[in-house]
Chain A
Amino acid sequence: MNNALDIRNLTKDYGDFRLDDVSFSLPPGTIMGLIGPNGAGKTTVIKLILNLLRRDGGEVKVFGLDNRQEEAAVKGRIGFVHDAPCFYERLRLTTIKATVAPFYRDWDEPLFRKLLAEFDLPPRKTLARLSRGMKMKFALALALSHRADLIILDEPTSGLDPVFRHELLGRLSGLIQNERTSVLFSTHITSDLERVADFITFLHEGRLVFSSPKDDILDRWAVVKAGRDLLTDENRRFFRGVREREFGFEGLTSDAAAARRRFGDMAVIEKAALEDIMFYISRGAKNA
């Protein structure tokens, strides 16, 4: 069975920013979190998948189909939520739906109605009168109503209240239960991903830091806390990022086992959260 998404050596050069040689795959029936600080290239990757940007190199395959040569077929299988809603603001929700639904062969009108009711969205209200969170919910309702095989969400939880965020994550987990639907989900809120993601892809300054199963990452990456006397030049090189404090330091490593061998009982070694990884790597790059 083809992967939901296969990205190979994807490159896009803006002059002042370059997405450089990014490769990763998303197996069917899984959720992948796309993380990275602002400007890391997350939205660029998503726009390249949707063919909204012209790539300078590499290839993007969705269910084995090239996203440029089979553009319409590929997009017919994708449900998307962009980071900023891009609908006609002065139209009612039902009218916006009427401008989108005819383009999908598998549009499921009863499901759309059901989602509007579940998300408490008033069908006769105009989009301009909805809050950002409500607009995101509407975008999500549209994305889910044509039974897409790949759902791509760009920062969908920003602006959502914690209750709906929780519901959304539950819904995403529910979607993949058919082992056919996959989700690519970009976010800053890494705790959301720790709850639902199967894979994590981390981008930093346009480069891929890693793309691995979440459990592997959380097993392999660790934060080492120790006294400053242990922060020798050699040990500093061992870490992917270091934060120095008055009486000690904290360092991020991608090899928890090696850290245990190296520091033994002289340091406290804790599992790294995704947020720690993002923080230390971004900070490390700034200090470099």
Chain B
Amino acid sequence: MLKLCRKDFLACRWWWMLALALFGLNWMFALRQSLGIMLLTILLVGGCLAITFYQDQLNKTEVLYASLPLTRAALVRGRYLLAGLLSLGAAAVSFVYGTFLMAVFGLSDLQVSLKALASVDGLVGYALALAFLTSLYFPLHYRLGAGKAVLAFFLCLLALAVAVPGLGELGLMPAPLARFVSSPGFLKDIGLRIIGMTGQVSLALGTPLFLAAAVGLASIMIAVSVRLSIRLYQKADL
């Protein structure tokens, strides 16, 4: 599977560099919310994955790589691994670049944001967010193809954004969570609130149990998503 990631790296490295350059510029104007940098980092991962899928579609390379001595399952797992590696790389880049900006330009506003990314709670939030987004997008991609999948993905996110507070209003959500998402401070700084909540959960459970629960949750999401994506891709005509 690492060979598949290497293949994507060779095919898309200059485009990834371009995404990285845009990311670097964007950071100057990063939201001063505590989630700002994390959001940009997630966008960087999403951007790199979108480039990779777009290059496949543009050059019709799915046909080529599905003709090589690989199973469809291996091709799908390779893409999930790529998402994981890009997530790790993007987090490392964000941290190094943020530290560099703070040290050289004295951008102390970034300190809160970087601390959030560098904390256990922040990293767990980042990993869970990426696991959730990947788990949602990939099956849509293997069912609908690159173009329609992006549309469906954002429609799902939109539906969730409407449904979560809506369910809270209707009393169909646990009361503490409903109070949390509808509290006035939530929209002011979503990142800080979410990390604050994960911090509370972490405190309540203790760090080892909290980490185990997070890893378990992410693993279940990814495992279900991988299985579904493989099934869908195995049925697809190329």
Give residues in A with beta carbon < 8 Å to B: 47, 50-54, 71-73, 75-76, 78, 80, 82, 84, 86-89, 91, 95, 98-100, 102-105
Residue B68 at the chain A interface, CB threshold 8 Å: yes
- CB contacts (< 8 Å) of A88 on chain B: these are 11, 55, 59, 61
Residue B70 at the chain A interface, CB threshold 8 Å: yes
Q: Can you list 29 A-B pairs with a CB-CB distance of less than 8 A? A: A47-B237, A50-B67, A52-B63, A52-B67, A52-B238, A53-B238, A54-B234, A54-B236, A71-B70, A71-B71, A72-B69, A72-B70, A75-B67, A75-B69, A75-B70, A76-B69, A80-B67, A86-B61, A86-B62, A88-B55, A88-B61, A89-B59, A99-B6, A99-B11, A100-B64, A103-B3, A103-B69, A104-B69, A105-B69
Main secondary structure on chain B at its contact with chain A? helix
- CB contacts (< 8 Å) of B234 on chain A: these are 54
Least Cβ–Cβ distance between A112 and chain B, in angstroms? 15
Give residues in B with beta carbon < 8 Å to A: 3, 6-7, 10-11, 55, 58-64, 66-72, 74, 234-238
Q: Give the CA-CA distance A95 to B61 in the complex, in Å.
A: 14
Of the listed residues A54, A80, A82, A88, the one surrounded by the most CB atoms of chain B closer than 10 A to its CB is: A88
- CB contacts (< 8 Å) of B68 on chain A: these are 75, 100, 103-104
Least Cβ–Cβ distance between B231 and chain A, in angstroms? 12
Residues A87 and B59 in contact, CB atoms below 8 Å apart: yes
Q: Give the CA-CA distance A100 to B58 in the complex, in Å.
A: 18
Of the listed residues B66, B67, B70, B74, the one surrounded by the most CB atoms of chain A closer than 10 A to its CB is: B67
Residues A91 and B11 in contact, CB atoms below 8 Å apart: yes
Residue of B nearest to A104 (CB): B69
- CB contacts (< 8 Å) of A82 on chain B: these are 63-64, 67
* Contact A73/B69 with A53-B238, A88-B61, A89-B59 known, Cβ cut-off 8 Å: yes
Least Cβ–Cβ distance between B195 and chain A, in angstroms? 40
Residue of B nearest to A49 (CB): B67
Q: Give the CA-CA distance A225 to B63 in the complex, in Å.
A: 46
Residue of B nearest to A143 (CB): B67
* Contact A91/B67 with A52-B237, A53-B238, A86-B59 known, Cβ cut-off 8 Å: no
Q: Give the CA-CA distance A138 to B72 in the complex, in Å.
A: 25
Least Cβ–Cβ distance between B236 and chain A, in angstroms? 8
Q: Give the CA-CA distance A89 to B67 in the complex, in Å.
A: 18
